[in-house]
Amino acid sequence: MDKTPQERTKLQGLKFFKPMQKLLGELRRHCAHPNRSLHFDEYLTLLLLSFYNPALQSLRGLITCAGTHLAERNLGLHHTSLGSLSEASHVFDPELLRRIFLDLAGRAMAADAPPRPRGLPDDLKLLAADATLWKLLPRMAREFYTGPLTRARKGSLKGHFVFNVLTGVPEDVEWTDGTVDERHVLPMQMASGALYVVDRGYNSKALFQAFVEARASFVMRLRKDYGYQPIEGRSLEQAARNAGVYSDEVVSVAGVQQPLRIVRARRVSPPSRNLHAKRNGGKYAAHPPGELLMQDWILVTDRLDLPAELIVELYAYRWQVETFFRWFKVTLQCQHLLCESENGLALQMYAALIATLLVVILTGRKPNKGLLLILHLYLLGWSKWAEVEREIARCAILKK
């Protein structure tokens, strides 16, 4: 059946912007000026469209999109110039997008996020913290190329993420240059009543004490050469032995005001499917392909009350933040940067986080490549929302 003229001029996917329409209205008043034709809400809308449409990969592509009839009729956009779009990355405040990100993060929850582990207190949030780098060209964000470390390290942007494991969405992020140690940033992100799972890069006596002072808990993988003094050994239940635990002891660490606990476990992982691991080198490059990978985990925690097998299970959830990094940098193509200033990079990164949370809110699932593909087709008008719902249902079946 032929479409009516009204249907032919209707832009698909307007529902994507409904969860933040009120927030977009608040952006309109930011940096208002009679000579400015491109406003903050319009700039954010264009950035969001670039993540939902694979054809929009440049500033000129965004300009072309803004000047189309459908964008003007349905989104209130209008033709803008390259100079206005470039200027926008310098004049608008990323902190306003951060507030939108935090607002949406508080509302988003993925139905396929991991269930709360048995034995974990109901009032304890489970958070995974980690940092990831974006390498920058010399002409981009020149302030990242200045200072005493310029010759030793190329310019890079670092995102320090706190990921909520049980809701499947990022909860907080701080942006710094690549030379900033993540151990110095995490104390500023700590919240009481939460348990953080982190890797060996966070080993620090000062950080252990920071967790204690913030009344937050942690499960952290410890380096083999890290120094501590044993206090007492603890007996192992059969459930702990079944989980690979072979040692559980209370220890004392210099500079930390309370005793900590070290759990040692042997974990067996399935064969790697990374065909380039051996060619690219790395710590597992010598491992024979197709064989099980055996690892010894040395985990340190402040929780003396939790079962040893639960400590091992909690650390395994740290991989959730790595999966998110894969989505954020590769699937969502956040490695392709549209801006060259520090302010512009922050605007683009917060827009990408907002785009991620909108997918979670509207589909109820953690974003993945299959979901993004069907959403691309829906926004292009090549599929109906019913087909999006079928893809959501298919993802739910595969998850089971």
Instruction: Note the pLDDT tens digit of each residue in 358-380.
Output: 999 888 899 888 888 888 888 77
Cα–Cα distance between 244 and 267 in angstroms, integer?
6
- Whether residue 172 is predicted with pLDDT greater than 80 in this model: the reply is yes
Res. 212: pLDDT tops 70:
yes
pLDDT value for 169: 95
Q: In what order do the strands lie in the sheet containing 125-135?
A: 169-177, 156-164, 125-135, 194-198, 217-221, 293-301, 260-269, 245-252, 229-233
CA 76 to mean position of chain CA atoms: 30
> 8: exposed, middle or buried (C-beta count within 10 Å: 0-12, 13-18, 19+)?
exposed
* Region of poorest pLDDT, from 170-184, 286-300, 312-326: 286-300
pLDDT band per the 50, 70, 90 thresholds, residue 152:
very low
Write down the domain spans for the chain: 1-92, 94-199+318-365, 368-400
Retrieve residue 5's tokens: 């003229």
Contacts (Cβ under 8 Å, ≥6 apart) of 154 = 135, 136, 145, 178
Short-list 332, 327, 328, 298, CA closest to 312:
298
Q: Kindly indicate the confidence band of residue 32, based on its pLDDT and cuts at 50, 70 and 90.
A: low
Bridge-based pairing state of the strands 194-198 and 217-221: parallel
* Predicted confidence (pLDDT) at residue 398 exceeds the cutoff of 90: no
